[in-house]
Structure 1
């Protein structure tokens, strides 16, 4: 066996460039496993904005920064090829937080790991019922607590998390306003039924448009962006509104200098709740959520787009698509043809 890896060679400054990474391809000998450990072969990786956060030298992440010279950390879908853990026997299919490499040892007692249900491919497990979809589900339902007839505003509404959050809002009876970049994305959101109206941040005055489209205020703001967009939403929240803090993508490449929030007395006077969350807070509810998401997809009520790219060699530069807006759906890189298998 050979183990292909992408290592973090230096900390990126802004968008990633090739010299930020080092490729290594070496022979791999399967190690002896300690009790509870499993050896996995990664088949596909989910490119998520938070990976860029982990590359920085920061103490503010929920996971440690990636050390220089170490493989880049990333959510993956994998097959267990050897096991010393009865809960995950050889042949099992799992999702976990892994690294940009073919093989690695995982200790499930110390890692977020979940089985892939029968009937779902490895790609499905990272896409339609994957972590981004689960993040949208729990963020909106558990933190946003939508009610029929309320107005939901979603930033990054054409993205992997945002588009699912917007559609769930529609399913649950909300009026949905999306914020996205560019005519094509806004047109897709409106024509595919994801949103009632869309604000194009590339050409519209965001704060002005929110005020015009939401004269009674925003009941729920699902925030994927942070920065000035978050400020515009806070300034237009309805009384007893809820702000769901999911991501701050506007600051991931610049040290979060854009993410200073003002007018906090607006939250006090409006009795507005602002709350951050992680999907892993609700891990016990994952099976129920995956089943519900799958049912909505089967019924045609929830659309999901995957941007699947092939080859371990494209991993590092694919990440930039999340920040320049060139991805078309959940960005997944498969490094093995087996990733399309559902069993």
Structure 2
């Protein structure tokens, strides 16, 4: 057995996403299973180096998880030749500058989705010849993996439309603590649900159904006043709801509503309904249900009588047929294989830049009140 150690500078792991999903449930989970085992007996061993601004938090995090290396000096860790890879899950506003430094230092980079500067980062990484990736975790969720199975198996026939519903009620922060940080609701700090979610919808639509060709969006701020982490009121300047219509290659129409001001009446916080000539499916984070053409009932509209049909019971569950690992961990494994063995990888910074482009066009579409074409991305 040959062990290949990959030292990974992890910036932003004191935050919720960086800590829970990327450190604990991805890299530490890989270490707990003895590393990432390849077919030829090689084991890829991830070695995190924690990076951040708070020495107290970093020291406590390292001690809790039995890690040796942490630092508040980003420049020193990027100058360390033993560090192979830079990962960034910082707040959005801090990410671009740090990733630029990592690329200039010749490090491979893997990041949570960038926002402003995404196209430049993709170009810089290409010119530097470093391997690069952006987190596109929704593709690796069990529900969407089942949905991909249906698409690739031809279950739908000709796909007609996609309808997505995402969101939940985020408390204002006055009488109950908000579930999201206050910067999410300040445009000047990079907040807004369109900037957050449209990049996700771009890669989901692109990978499963086809490239987005046009976008028409309406963005709004339903809750204009909120309270921050210190209990102080502030004006929400960023959109907390985005309603989008996307035309895809091949004539598929996608409608996706995203809102932090909606109460949930769904089985999961996000659901996609796909309708085709031969069948339909509803997929969430984990589950997926289908109704084939041959088993589709014939509802009759009659508002004078109460509905007697139990519509949800007319659908079938798609079986797992496999063990689904954590989605973030699954993508980390593929990227580590790409770094060490140069195995195929398509979720690079250019793919992330496509998502940022769609978010920017959504904001512009809403401001101008019209449908916009989505051009091919050029770096």
TM-score under structure 2 length normalisation: 0.33
Q: Which has the higher helix share?
A: 2
TM-score under structure 1 length normalisation: 0.36
